[in-house]
Chains A and B, each alone.
Chain A
Protein backbone atom coordinates (compact mmCIF):
# COMPACT_ATOMS: atom_id res chain seq x y z
CA UNK A 1 0.00 0.00 0.00
CA UNK A 2 2.84 2.37 0.86
CA UNK A 3 4.30 1.75 -2.59
CA UNK A 4 1.48 3.45 -4.49
CA UNK A 5 2.23 7.09 -3.52
CA UNK A 6 5.94 6.49 -4.13
CA UNK A 7 5.23 5.18 -7.62
CA UNK A 8 2.95 8.11 -8.41
CA UNK A 9 5.62 10.55 -7.25
CA UNK A 10 8.20 8.70 -9.32
CA UNK A 11 6.13 8.76 -12.50
CA UNK A 12 5.45 12.49 -12.08
CA UNK A 13 9.18 13.10 -11.70
CA UNK A 14 9.96 11.08 -14.83
CA UNK A 15 7.24 12.88 -16.80
CA UNK A 16 8.38 16.36 -15.80
CA UNK A 17 12.12 15.78 -16.28
CA UNK A 18 11.35 14.03 -19.58
CA UNK A 19 9.56 17.13 -20.86
CA UNK A 20 12.74 19.16 -21.14
CA UNK A 21 14.18 16.62 -23.62
CA UNK A 22 10.94 16.06 -25.48
CA UNK A 23 10.13 16.41 -29.14
CA UNK A 24 8.15 19.48 -30.11
CA UNK A 25 5.70 20.66 -32.74
CA UNK A 26 6.85 22.95 -35.53
CA UNK A 27 3.74 24.87 -36.65
CA UNK A 28 3.27 26.04 -40.22
CA UNK A 29 4.62 29.53 -40.77
CA UNK A 30 7.94 31.35 -40.42
CA UNK A 31 10.62 29.83 -38.21
CA UNK A 32 14.07 31.30 -37.53
CA UNK A 33 17.25 30.06 -35.89
CA UNK A 34 17.05 26.53 -37.24
CA UNK A 35 19.94 24.34 -36.05
CA UNK A 36 21.16 27.23 -33.87
CA UNK A 37 22.17 29.11 -36.99
CA UNK A 38 21.06 31.87 -39.35
CA UNK A 39 18.97 29.33 -41.25
CA UNK A 40 15.26 30.11 -41.42
CA UNK A 41 12.32 28.54 -43.23
CA UNK A 42 8.60 28.85 -43.75
CA UNK A 43 7.00 25.38 -43.80
CA UNK A 44 3.48 25.25 -45.25
CA UNK A 45 2.49 22.33 -43.02
CA UNK A 46 3.27 21.13 -39.51
CA UNK A 47 6.44 19.19 -38.73
CA UNK A 48 7.79 17.57 -35.58
CA UNK A 49 11.14 18.59 -34.26
CA UNK A 50 12.96 15.63 -32.72
CA UNK A 51 15.18 15.91 -29.67
CA UNK A 52 17.90 13.80 -31.33
CA UNK A 53 21.25 15.29 -30.34
CA UNK A 54 23.24 14.61 -33.51
CA UNK A 55 25.45 17.66 -33.06
CA UNK A 56 25.47 21.27 -31.84
CA UNK A 57 24.33 22.70 -35.18
CA UNK A 58 22.17 19.80 -36.30
CA UNK A 59 18.37 19.72 -36.09
CA UNK A 60 16.03 16.93 -37.17
CA UNK A 61 12.42 17.29 -38.30
CA UNK A 62 10.00 14.52 -39.21
CA UNK A 63 6.38 13.76 -40.00
CA UNK A 64 5.98 10.12 -38.94
CA UNK A 65 9.29 9.41 -37.17
CA UNK A 66 12.88 9.61 -38.34
CA UNK A 67 12.94 6.05 -39.69
CA UNK A 68 10.12 6.94 -42.11
CA UNK A 69 10.84 10.54 -43.09
CA UNK A 70 13.64 12.68 -41.81
CA UNK A 71 14.74 16.22 -42.62
CA UNK A 72 18.14 17.10 -41.20
CA UNK A 73 19.44 20.68 -41.06
CA UNK A 74 23.18 21.23 -40.75
CA UNK A 75 23.46 24.90 -39.79
CA UNK A 76 26.80 26.47 -40.53
CA UNK A 77 29.37 23.74 -39.86
CA UNK A 78 32.74 25.48 -39.57
CA UNK A 79 35.95 24.39 -41.23
CA UNK A 80 37.69 21.65 -39.26
CA UNK A 81 34.44 20.31 -37.77
CA UNK A 82 32.63 17.10 -38.67
CA UNK A 83 29.02 17.19 -39.91
CA UNK A 84 27.79 15.39 -36.80
CA UNK A 85 29.00 14.62 -33.32
CA UNK A 86 31.60 11.83 -33.39
CA UNK A 87 30.53 8.78 -31.38
CA UNK A 88 34.07 7.45 -31.19
CA UNK A 89 36.67 10.09 -32.00
CA UNK A 90 39.55 7.69 -31.75
CA UNK A 91 38.35 4.67 -33.69
CA UNK A 92 35.74 6.20 -36.00
CA UNK A 93 36.72 9.81 -36.60
CA UNK A 94 34.52 11.63 -39.12
CA UNK A 95 35.71 13.60 -42.15
CA UNK A 96 35.87 17.34 -41.55
CA UNK A 97 34.62 20.37 -43.44
CA UNK A 98 37.55 22.09 -45.21
CA UNK A 99 38.00 25.67 -46.38
CA UNK A 100 39.03 24.65 -49.89
CA UNK A 101 36.06 22.33 -50.45
CA UNK A 102 34.31 22.50 -53.78
CA UNK A 103 30.56 22.49 -53.88
CA UNK A 104 30.66 18.96 -55.35
CA UNK A 105 32.56 17.80 -52.26
CA UNK A 106 29.41 18.30 -50.14
CA UNK A 107 27.70 15.05 -51.23
CA UNK A 108 31.05 13.22 -50.92
CA UNK A 109 31.41 14.51 -47.34
CA UNK A 110 27.93 13.28 -46.47
CA UNK A 111 28.67 9.86 -47.98
CA UNK A 112 31.97 9.49 -46.17
CA UNK A 113 30.34 10.56 -42.88
CA UNK A 114 27.60 7.94 -43.29
CA UNK A 115 30.05 5.20 -44.23
CA UNK A 116 32.26 6.03 -41.24
CA UNK A 117 29.67 6.30 -38.51
CA UNK A 118 26.23 5.13 -39.51
CA UNK A 119 27.09 1.57 -40.55
CA UNK A 120 26.19 2.39 -44.14
CA UNK A 121 27.93 -0.08 -46.45
CA UNK A 122 26.10 0.78 -49.64
CA UNK A 123 25.59 4.36 -50.76
CA UNK A 124 25.60 6.14 -54.08
CA UNK A 125 25.24 9.76 -55.18
CA UNK A 126 22.74 9.50 -58.03
CA UNK A 127 22.51 13.04 -59.41
CA UNK A 128 23.94 16.51 -58.86
CA UNK A 129 22.81 19.87 -60.20
CA UNK A 130 23.24 23.55 -59.38
CA UNK A 131 20.57 25.03 -57.10
CA UNK A 132 19.97 27.99 -54.81
CA UNK A 133 19.97 27.77 -51.02
CA UNK A 134 18.18 31.00 -50.19
CA UNK A 135 20.13 33.63 -52.14
CA UNK A 136 23.31 31.55 -52.32
CA UNK A 137 24.61 29.33 -55.08
CA UNK A 138 24.59 25.73 -54.02
CA UNK A 139 24.06 22.13 -55.06
CA UNK A 140 21.05 19.85 -55.12
CA UNK A 141 21.82 16.14 -55.13
CA UNK A 142 19.99 12.85 -54.80
CA UNK A 143 21.34 9.68 -53.25
CA UNK A 144 20.41 6.20 -52.12
CA UNK A 145 21.76 4.14 -49.25
CA UNK A 146 21.14 1.15 -47.00
CA UNK A 147 21.77 1.26 -43.26
CA UNK A 148 22.14 -1.75 -40.97
CA UNK A 149 18.34 -2.12 -40.79
CA UNK A 150 18.64 -3.15 -44.48
CA UNK A 151 15.86 -0.80 -45.60
CA UNK A 152 16.66 0.79 -48.97
CA UNK A 153 16.41 4.56 -48.48
CA UNK A 154 16.51 7.50 -50.84
CA UNK A 155 17.68 10.99 -50.04
CA UNK A 156 17.75 14.49 -51.47
CA UNK A 157 20.07 17.22 -50.27
CA UNK A 158 20.50 20.97 -50.76
CA UNK A 159 23.79 22.46 -49.67
CA UNK A 160 25.96 25.56 -49.98
CA UNK A 161 29.13 26.98 -48.52
CA UNK A 162 28.43 30.46 -47.19
CA UNK A 163 31.09 32.54 -45.42
CA UNK A 164 33.36 29.50 -45.13
CA UNK A 165 30.66 27.49 -43.35
CA UNK A 166 28.68 24.55 -44.65
CA UNK A 167 24.88 24.73 -44.73
CA UNK A 168 23.07 21.56 -45.74
CA UNK A 169 19.51 20.26 -45.60
CA UNK A 170 18.72 16.63 -46.36
CA UNK A 171 15.50 14.67 -46.72
CA UNK A 172 15.63 10.89 -46.29
CA UNK A 173 12.95 8.21 -46.36
CA UNK A 174 12.49 4.54 -47.33
CA UNK A 175 12.47 4.21 -51.11
CA UNK A 176 9.27 2.21 -50.84
CA UNK A 177 6.24 4.53 -50.53
CA UNK A 178 7.56 7.01 -47.95
CA UNK A 179 10.09 8.94 -50.03
CA UNK A 180 7.51 9.94 -52.61
CA UNK A 181 4.81 10.51 -50.00
CA UNK A 182 6.53 13.48 -48.36
CA UNK A 183 8.87 14.65 -51.12
CA UNK A 184 6.64 17.60 -52.07
CA UNK A 185 6.27 18.65 -48.45
CA UNK A 186 10.06 18.69 -48.12
CA UNK A 187 10.55 20.56 -51.39
CA UNK A 188 8.19 23.33 -50.26
CA UNK A 189 10.20 23.54 -47.05
CA UNK A 190 13.54 23.56 -48.90
CA UNK A 191 12.34 26.26 -51.31
CA UNK A 192 11.40 28.46 -48.35
CA UNK A 193 14.87 28.32 -46.77
CA UNK A 194 16.62 31.63 -46.24
CA UNK A 195 20.07 32.47 -44.94
Chain B
Protein backbone atom coordinates (compact mmCIF):
# COMPACT_ATOMS: atom_id res chain seq x y z
CA UNK B 1 0.00 0.00 0.00
CA UNK B 2 2.76 2.35 0.96
CA UNK B 3 4.58 1.65 -2.29
CA UNK B 4 1.44 2.36 -4.22
CA UNK B 5 0.92 5.64 -2.41
CA UNK B 6 4.51 6.71 -3.07
CA UNK B 7 4.09 5.84 -6.76
CA UNK B 8 0.92 7.84 -6.97
CA UNK B 9 2.62 10.81 -5.30
CA UNK B 10 5.50 10.58 -7.77
CA UNK B 11 3.03 10.55 -10.66
CA UNK B 12 1.33 13.65 -9.27
CA UNK B 13 4.76 15.25 -8.87
CA UNK B 14 5.67 14.54 -12.48
CA UNK B 15 2.33 15.79 -13.67
CA UNK B 16 2.72 19.01 -11.66
CA UNK B 17 6.25 19.54 -12.91
CA UNK B 18 4.96 19.06 -16.45
CA UNK B 19 2.26 21.64 -15.87
CA UNK B 20 4.72 24.13 -14.47
CA UNK B 21 6.93 23.66 -17.51
CA UNK B 22 3.97 24.14 -19.86
CA UNK B 23 2.76 27.23 -17.98
CA UNK B 24 6.17 28.83 -18.14
CA UNK B 25 5.97 31.81 -20.51
CA UNK B 26 8.67 30.26 -22.63
CA UNK B 27 9.39 30.70 -26.25
CA UNK B 28 7.00 28.15 -27.77
CA UNK B 29 4.13 29.55 -29.82
CA UNK B 30 0.65 28.25 -29.02
CA UNK B 31 -0.57 25.18 -30.87
CA UNK B 32 -2.00 26.09 -34.26
CA UNK B 33 -5.14 24.47 -35.64
CA UNK B 34 -5.89 25.00 -39.30
CA UNK B 35 -9.52 25.94 -40.05
CA UNK B 36 -10.42 25.92 -36.35
CA UNK B 37 -14.13 25.72 -35.65
CA UNK B 38 -15.89 26.81 -32.46
CA UNK B 39 -16.57 23.90 -30.12
CA UNK B 40 -18.69 25.01 -27.16
CA UNK B 41 -21.98 26.86 -26.79
CA UNK B 42 -20.18 30.01 -25.59
CA UNK B 43 -17.76 29.90 -28.46
CA UNK B 44 -20.39 29.28 -31.14
CA UNK B 45 -22.44 32.21 -29.82
CA UNK B 46 -19.41 34.41 -29.87
CA UNK B 47 -18.54 33.45 -33.44
CA UNK B 48 -22.09 34.17 -34.53
CA UNK B 49 -21.82 37.68 -33.11
CA UNK B 50 -18.40 38.11 -34.69
CA UNK B 51 -19.80 37.02 -38.07
CA UNK B 52 -22.53 39.61 -37.77
CA UNK B 53 -20.05 42.33 -36.86
CA UNK B 54 -17.86 41.28 -39.78
CA UNK B 55 -20.77 41.64 -42.22
CA UNK B 56 -21.21 45.21 -40.96
CA UNK B 57 -17.53 45.97 -41.46
CA UNK B 58 -17.58 44.44 -44.93
CA UNK B 59 -20.42 46.72 -46.05
CA UNK B 60 -19.43 49.82 -44.06
CA UNK B 61 -19.02 53.12 -45.94
CA UNK B 62 -15.97 53.76 -43.77
CA UNK B 63 -14.09 50.82 -45.28
CA UNK B 64 -11.28 51.69 -47.70
CA UNK B 65 -11.94 49.32 -50.57
CA UNK B 66 -10.02 50.96 -53.37
CA UNK B 67 -6.52 49.92 -54.26
CA UNK B 68 -4.39 47.39 -52.47
CA UNK B 69 -4.38 48.77 -48.94
CA UNK B 70 -6.16 45.84 -47.26
CA UNK B 71 -4.02 43.39 -49.25
CA UNK B 72 -0.88 45.15 -48.15
CA UNK B 73 -1.83 45.13 -44.45
CA UNK B 74 -2.68 41.45 -44.67
CA UNK B 75 0.63 40.75 -46.43
CA UNK B 76 2.47 42.38 -43.53
CA UNK B 77 0.62 40.12 -41.10
CA UNK B 78 1.36 37.04 -43.22
CA UNK B 79 5.03 37.96 -43.40
CA UNK B 80 4.98 38.22 -39.62
CA UNK B 81 3.03 35.14 -38.50
CA UNK B 82 3.64 32.92 -41.53
CA UNK B 83 1.46 32.09 -44.52
CA UNK B 84 -0.20 29.13 -42.85
CA UNK B 85 -1.41 30.95 -39.73
CA UNK B 86 -2.62 33.97 -41.65
CA UNK B 87 -4.84 31.85 -43.92
CA UNK B 88 -7.68 32.23 -41.43
CA UNK B 89 -7.51 36.05 -41.31
CA UNK B 90 -9.50 38.71 -43.19
CA UNK B 91 -8.38 42.33 -42.88
CA UNK B 92 -10.70 45.36 -43.07
CA UNK B 93 -9.19 48.84 -43.13
CA UNK B 94 -11.58 51.47 -41.74
CA UNK B 95 -11.18 55.19 -42.30
CA UNK B 96 -11.11 56.32 -38.66
CA UNK B 97 -8.27 58.65 -37.67
CA UNK B 98 -7.35 57.08 -34.32
CA UNK B 99 -4.70 54.59 -33.25
CA UNK B 100 -6.52 51.26 -33.08
CA UNK B 101 -6.76 47.71 -34.40
CA UNK B 102 -8.76 44.77 -33.14
CA UNK B 103 -9.38 41.14 -33.97
CA UNK B 104 -12.40 38.96 -33.34
CA UNK B 105 -12.58 35.25 -32.56
CA UNK B 106 -13.62 34.32 -36.12
CA UNK B 107 -10.44 35.71 -37.71
CA UNK B 108 -11.78 39.12 -38.72
CA UNK B 109 -9.21 41.88 -38.19
CA UNK B 110 -10.14 45.56 -38.16
CA UNK B 111 -7.42 48.18 -38.68
CA UNK B 112 -8.06 51.92 -38.38
CA UNK B 113 -6.32 54.40 -40.67
CA UNK B 114 -5.02 56.29 -37.61
CA UNK B 115 -2.65 53.37 -37.01
CA UNK B 116 -1.47 53.40 -40.64
CA UNK B 117 -0.73 57.13 -40.40
CA UNK B 118 1.22 56.81 -37.15
CA UNK B 119 3.30 53.71 -37.96
CA UNK B 120 6.68 54.80 -39.28
CA UNK B 121 7.66 51.47 -40.80
CA UNK B 122 6.36 47.98 -41.44
CA UNK B 123 7.79 46.70 -38.16
CA UNK B 124 5.66 49.12 -36.11
CA UNK B 125 2.52 48.14 -38.02
CA UNK B 126 3.48 44.46 -37.63
CA UNK B 127 3.95 44.98 -33.87
CA UNK B 128 0.32 46.05 -33.46
CA UNK B 129 -1.02 43.41 -35.90
CA UNK B 130 0.98 40.70 -34.10
CA UNK B 131 -0.45 41.81 -30.76
CA UNK B 132 -4.00 41.52 -32.09
CA UNK B 133 -3.19 38.19 -33.69
CA UNK B 134 -1.89 37.08 -30.28
CA UNK B 135 -5.34 37.72 -28.75
CA UNK B 136 -6.83 35.64 -31.56
CA UNK B 137 -4.43 32.71 -31.19
CA UNK B 138 -4.81 32.60 -27.43
CA UNK B 139 -8.62 32.76 -27.82
CA UNK B 140 -8.76 35.68 -25.44
CA UNK B 141 -12.16 36.83 -26.54
CA UNK B 142 -13.68 33.56 -25.37
CA UNK B 143 -11.86 33.62 -22.06
CA UNK B 144 -12.73 37.26 -21.60
CA UNK B 145 -16.38 36.47 -22.29
CA UNK B 146 -16.38 33.64 -19.74
CA UNK B 147 -14.59 35.75 -17.13
CA UNK B 148 -16.98 38.62 -17.73
CA UNK B 149 -19.99 36.38 -17.40
CA UNK B 150 -18.58 34.75 -14.27
CA UNK B 151 -17.88 38.09 -12.62
CA UNK B 152 -21.14 39.75 -13.62
CA UNK B 153 -23.09 36.66 -12.52
CA UNK B 154 -21.31 36.83 -9.17
CA UNK B 155 -21.95 40.56 -8.95
CA UNK B 156 -25.63 40.01 -9.66
CA UNK B 157 -25.87 37.33 -7.01
CA UNK B 158 -24.08 39.44 -4.44
CA UNK B 159 -26.55 42.19 -5.27
CA UNK B 160 -29.48 39.83 -4.60
CA UNK B 161 -27.98 38.53 -1.37
CA UNK B 162 -27.25 42.08 -0.28
CA UNK B 163 -30.84 43.10 -0.97
CA UNK B 164 -32.10 40.11 1.03
CA UNK B 165 -29.81 40.91 3.94
CA UNK B 166 -30.42 44.65 3.45
CA UNK B 167 -26.71 45.45 3.53
CA UNK B 168 -24.64 47.63 1.27
CA UNK B 169 -22.56 45.40 -1.01
CA UNK B 170 -21.20 48.02 -3.41
CA UNK B 171 -17.69 47.43 -2.14
CA UNK B 172 -17.81 43.73 -2.95
CA UNK B 173 -19.28 44.39 -6.41
CA UNK B 174 -16.59 46.94 -7.11
CA UNK B 175 -13.76 44.60 -6.14
CA UNK B 176 -15.16 41.90 -8.46
CA UNK B 177 -15.39 44.46 -11.26
CA UNK B 178 -11.76 45.28 -10.55
CA UNK B 179 -10.77 41.66 -10.97
CA UNK B 180 -12.34 41.70 -14.45
CA UNK B 181 -10.37 44.77 -15.56
CA UNK B 182 -7.23 43.28 -14.08
CA UNK B 183 -7.94 40.10 -16.07
CA UNK B 184 -8.08 42.19 -19.24
CA UNK B 185 -4.75 43.79 -18.42
CA UNK B 186 -3.17 40.36 -17.99
CA UNK B 187 -4.53 39.32 -21.38
CA UNK B 188 -3.07 42.45 -22.95
CA UNK B 189 0.34 41.66 -21.51
CA UNK B 190 0.16 38.07 -22.80
CA UNK B 191 -0.81 39.30 -26.26
CA UNK B 192 2.01 41.86 -26.16
CA UNK B 193 4.58 39.20 -25.43
CA UNK B 194 3.35 36.69 -28.00
CA UNK B 195 3.14 39.50 -30.56
CA UNK B 196 6.75 40.28 -29.83
CA UNK B 197 7.73 36.66 -30.51
CA UNK B 198 6.08 36.80 -33.94
CA UNK B 199 7.82 40.07 -34.64
CA UNK B 200 11.26 38.76 -33.70
CA UNK B 201 10.76 35.41 -35.44
CA UNK B 202 9.83 37.06 -38.74
CA UNK B 203 12.96 39.19 -38.95
CA UNK B 204 11.50 42.55 -37.97
CA UNK B 205 13.37 44.35 -35.17
CA UNK B 206 11.55 43.45 -31.95
CA UNK B 207 12.15 46.88 -30.43
CA UNK B 208 9.51 48.30 -32.80
CA UNK B 209 6.82 47.11 -30.34
CA UNK B 210 8.06 49.28 -27.49
CA UNK B 211 8.62 52.18 -29.89
CA UNK B 212 4.93 52.17 -30.83
CA UNK B 213 4.03 52.86 -27.19
CA UNK B 214 6.76 55.41 -26.70
CA UNK B 215 5.44 57.31 -29.72
CA UNK B 216 1.87 57.03 -28.41
CA UNK B 217 2.92 58.54 -25.07
CA UNK B 218 4.88 61.34 -26.70
CA UNK B 219 1.88 62.13 -28.92
CA UNK B 220 -0.44 62.31 -25.90
CA UNK B 221 1.95 64.75 -24.27
CA UNK B 222 2.12 66.84 -27.44
CA UNK B 223 -1.69 66.91 -27.64
CA UNK B 224 -1.92 68.09 -24.02
CA UNK B 225 0.71 70.78 -24.50
CA UNK B 226 -0.99 71.94 -27.72
CA UNK B 227 -4.19 72.42 -25.69
CA UNK B 228 -2.43 74.36 -22.97
CA UNK B 229 -2.68 71.47 -20.52
CA UNK B 230 -0.06 69.80 -18.42
CA UNK B 231 1.29 66.63 -20.06
CA UNK B 232 0.11 63.81 -17.86
CA UNK B 233 1.63 60.41 -18.20
CA UNK B 234 0.00 57.63 -16.34
CA UNK B 235 2.60 55.63 -14.53
CA UNK B 236 0.38 52.92 -13.07
CA UNK B 237 -2.81 51.23 -14.19
CA UNK B 238 -5.99 52.78 -12.84
CA UNK B 239 -8.61 50.50 -11.33
CA UNK B 240 -10.86 50.59 -14.41
CA UNK B 241 -8.13 50.51 -17.05
CA UNK B 242 -8.45 47.53 -19.36
CA UNK B 243 -4.97 48.04 -20.84
CA UNK B 244 -1.62 48.29 -19.02
CA UNK B 245 -0.29 51.85 -18.90
CA UNK B 246 1.74 52.75 -21.97
CA UNK B 247 4.88 53.41 -19.95
CA UNK B 248 4.89 50.00 -18.27
CA UNK B 249 4.07 48.46 -21.61
CA UNK B 250 6.93 50.08 -23.47
CA UNK B 251 9.29 49.09 -20.63
CA UNK B 252 8.50 45.38 -20.54
CA UNK B 253 8.41 45.25 -24.33
CA UNK B 254 11.84 46.89 -24.50
CA UNK B 255 13.17 44.38 -21.95
CA UNK B 256 11.72 41.46 -23.91
CA UNK B 257 13.12 42.88 -27.15
CA UNK B 258 16.57 43.06 -25.59
CA UNK B 259 16.35 39.28 -24.99
CA UNK B 260 15.03 38.46 -28.49
CA UNK B 261 16.17 41.30 -30.74
CA UNK B 262 14.91 39.81 -34.03
CA UNK B 263 16.15 41.16 -37.37
CA UNK B 264 17.36 44.62 -38.27
CA UNK B 265 15.23 45.63 -41.28
CA UNK B 266 12.09 47.54 -40.25
CA UNK B 267 11.20 48.00 -43.97
CA UNK B 268 10.55 51.72 -43.66
CA UNK B 269 10.96 52.44 -47.38
CA UNK B 270 8.56 49.68 -48.44
CA UNK B 271 6.05 50.96 -45.91
CA UNK B 272 6.22 54.54 -47.15
CA UNK B 273 5.73 53.41 -50.73
CA UNK B 274 2.68 51.31 -49.87
CA UNK B 275 1.01 54.08 -47.84
CA UNK B 276 1.94 56.93 -50.23
CA UNK B 277 -1.24 56.82 -52.38
CA UNK B 278 -3.39 57.15 -49.23
CA UNK B 279 -1.21 59.57 -47.30
CA UNK B 280 -2.85 62.87 -48.41
CA UNK B 281 -6.26 61.48 -47.35
CA UNK B 282 -4.97 60.26 -43.98
CA UNK B 283 -3.17 63.53 -43.31
CA UNK B 284 -6.21 65.64 -44.24
CA UNK B 285 -8.38 63.71 -41.75
CA UNK B 286 -5.78 64.14 -39.00
CA UNK B 287 -5.18 67.89 -39.39
CA UNK B 288 -8.94 68.62 -39.30
CA UNK B 289 -9.38 66.93 -35.92
CA UNK B 290 -8.63 70.08 -33.91
CA UNK B 291 -5.63 68.43 -32.25
CA UNK B 292 -2.85 70.88 -33.08
CA UNK B 293 -0.11 69.47 -30.83
CA UNK B 294 -0.75 65.80 -31.64
CA UNK B 295 -1.01 66.43 -35.39
CA UNK B 296 2.18 68.49 -35.46
CA UNK B 297 3.93 65.72 -33.54
CA UNK B 298 2.81 63.07 -36.05
CA UNK B 299 3.97 65.20 -38.98
CA UNK B 300 7.38 65.78 -37.40
CA UNK B 301 7.74 62.06 -36.60
CA UNK B 302 6.99 61.16 -40.24
CA UNK B 303 9.37 63.84 -41.52
CA UNK B 304 12.10 62.44 -39.29
CA UNK B 305 11.86 59.20 -41.25
CA UNK B 306 11.63 60.32 -44.86
CA UNK B 307 12.22 64.09 -44.77
CA UNK B 308 9.70 66.91 -45.28
CA UNK B 309 7.92 65.80 -48.43
CA UNK B 310 5.39 67.89 -50.35
CA UNK B 311 2.52 65.97 -48.70
CA UNK B 312 3.83 66.59 -45.19
CA UNK B 313 4.56 70.28 -45.81
CA UNK B 314 1.10 70.82 -47.27
CA UNK B 315 -0.51 69.09 -44.29
CA UNK B 316 1.53 71.20 -41.88
CA UNK B 317 0.51 74.38 -43.70
CA UNK B 318 -3.15 73.29 -43.46
CA UNK B 319 -2.77 72.64 -39.73
CA UNK B 320 -1.28 76.07 -39.05
CA UNK B 321 -3.73 77.88 -41.33
CA UNK B 322 -6.63 76.31 -39.41
CA UNK B 323 -5.27 77.60 -36.07
CA UNK B 324 -5.04 80.99 -37.73
CA UNK B 325 -2.88 83.15 -35.43
CA UNK B 326 -0.90 85.72 -37.45
CA UNK B 327 2.32 83.76 -36.80
CA UNK B 328 0.56 80.55 -37.91
CA UNK B 329 -0.61 82.15 -41.15
CA UNK B 330 2.90 83.40 -41.84
CA UNK B 331 4.37 79.91 -41.40
CA UNK B 332 1.54 78.33 -43.37
CA UNK B 333 2.28 80.55 -46.38
CA UNK B 334 5.92 79.59 -46.14
CA UNK B 335 5.17 75.86 -46.04
CA UNK B 336 2.65 75.99 -48.90
CA UNK B 337 5.43 77.47 -51.02
CA UNK B 338 7.92 74.88 -49.76
CA UNK B 339 5.43 72.12 -50.54
CA UNK B 340 5.10 73.41 -54.09
CA UNK B 341 8.87 73.48 -54.42
CA UNK B 342 8.99 69.90 -53.10
CA UNK B 343 6.65 68.77 -55.88
CA UNK B 344 3.12 69.09 -54.44
CA UNK B 345 1.19 69.73 -57.63
CA UNK B 346 -2.55 69.91 -56.80
CA UNK B 347 -4.05 73.34 -57.70
CA UNK B 348 -5.75 73.51 -54.27
CA UNK B 349 -2.35 74.47 -52.91
CA UNK B 350 -2.59 77.88 -54.61
CA UNK B 351 -6.13 78.39 -53.31
CA UNK B 352 -5.16 77.61 -49.72
CA UNK B 353 -1.99 79.69 -49.97
CA UNK B 354 -4.14 82.55 -51.23
CA UNK B 355 -6.61 82.13 -48.36
CA UNK B 356 -3.78 82.09 -45.78
CA UNK B 357 -2.31 85.27 -47.27
CA UNK B 358 -5.70 86.95 -47.46
CA UNK B 359 -6.51 86.09 -43.85
CA UNK B 360 -3.15 87.57 -42.88
CA UNK B 361 -3.89 90.83 -44.72
CA UNK B 362 -1.46 90.25 -47.61
CA UNK B 363 -4.06 91.07 -50.26
CA UNK B 364 -1.78 91.59 -53.23
CA UNK B 365 0.05 88.27 -52.90
CA UNK B 366 -3.25 86.56 -52.11
CA UNK B 367 -4.72 87.74 -55.41
CA UNK B 368 -1.85 86.21 -57.33
CA UNK B 369 -2.26 82.83 -55.68
CA UNK B 370 -6.06 82.76 -55.97
CA UNK B 371 -5.87 83.77 -59.64
CA UNK B 372 -3.38 80.97 -60.25
CA UNK B 373 -5.88 78.53 -58.72
CA UNK B 374 -8.74 79.78 -60.91
CA UNK B 375 -6.52 79.65 -63.99
CA UNK B 376 -5.60 76.03 -63.24
CA UNK B 377 -9.14 74.98 -62.32
CA UNK B 378 -11.65 77.40 -63.86
CA UNK B 379 -14.61 75.07 -63.31
CA UNK B 380 -13.80 74.24 -59.66
CA UNK B 381 -16.81 73.73 -57.39
CA UNK B 382 -15.78 76.80 -55.39
CA UNK B 383 -14.69 78.98 -58.33
CA UNK B 384 -17.51 81.51 -57.84
CA UNK B 385 -16.67 81.88 -54.16
CA UNK B 386 -13.00 82.49 -54.90
CA UNK B 387 -13.91 84.95 -57.65
CA UNK B 388 -16.02 86.93 -55.21
CA UNK B 389 -13.08 87.06 -52.76
CA UNK B 390 -10.91 88.39 -55.58
CA UNK B 391 -13.49 91.04 -56.44
CA UNK B 392 -13.47 92.48 -52.91
Residues in A lying within 8 Å of B, measured CB to CB: 90, 93-95, 98, 100-105, 108, 111-113, 115-116, 121-122, 126-130, 139, 146, 150, 152
Contacts and interface: CB of A to CB of B under 8 A. Distances in A.
A139 B385 contact: yes
A108 B385 contact: no
Count chain A CB atoms within 10 A of each CB in B56, B62, B97, B385 and give the residue with the most: B385
A156 to B, nearest CB: 13
B61 A122 contact: yes
A115 B285 contact: yes
A122 B290 CA distance: 15
B216 to A, nearest CB: 15
A112 B355 CA distance: 17
Contacts of A126: 381
Contacts, number: 70
Contacts of A150: 56, 60-62
B229 to A, nearest CB: 7
Given A94-B290, A116-B290, A129-B384, A102 B97 contact: no
A90 to B, nearest CB: 7
Interface string B352-386: 00010011000000000000000000000110110
Q: Is the interface of B mostly helix, strand, loop or mixed?
A: loop
A102 B61 contact: no
A30 B385 CA distance: 31
Contacts of A95: 290, 322
Contacts of B62: 121-122, 146, 150
A121 B355 contact: no
A115 B382 contact: no
Contacts of B358: 102
Interface string B81-98: 000000000000011110
A146 B61 contact: yes
Contacts of B94: 121
A126 B380 CA distance: 10
Contacts of A94: 290
- Pairs of residues from A and B, 5 with the lowest C-beta to C-beta distance, nearest first: A128-B382, A127-B381, A130-B388, A128-B385, A116-B290
Interface in B81-125: 94-97
Interface string B285-307: 10011100000000000000000
Interface in B225-255: 227, 229
Contact of A128 (B61, B95, B359, B381): B381
B389 A104 contact: yes
Nearest to B59: A150
B324 interface: yes
Contacts of A102: 355, 358-359, 389
15 contacts: A90-B227, A98-B324, A100-B324, A101-B324, A102-B359, A104-B355, A115-B285, A121-B96, A121-B285, A122-B61, A128-B381, A128-B385, A129-B382, A129-B385, A150-B61
A69 B359 CA distance: 34
Contacts of B60: 150
Contacts of B290: 93-95, 112-113, 115-116
B109 to A, nearest CB: 18
Contacts of A111: 288
Contacts of A139: 385
Contact of A100 (B95, B359, B382): B359
Contacts of A108: 288, 322
A188 B392 CA distance: 28
B385 A130 contact: yes
B140 to A, nearest CB: 25
Given A100-B359, A128-B385, A152 B289 contact: no
Nearest to A117: B290
Given A104-B382, A146-B62, A150-B60, 15 more contacts: A100-B359, A101-B359, A102-B355, A102-B359, A103-B385, A104-B389, A105-B324, A105-B359, A115-B290, A116-B289, A126-B381, A127-B381, A128-B382, A129-B382, A130-B385
A107 B178 CA distance: 45
A160 B289 CA distance: 23
A2 to B, nearest CB: 22
Contacts of B285: 115, 121
A166 B229 CA distance: 28
A98 B388 CA distance: 21
Nearest to A82: B290
Given A108-B322, A115-B290, A130 B95 contact: no
A93 B381 contact: no
A98 B322 CA distance: 10
Given A116-B290, A121-B285, A104 B227 contact: no
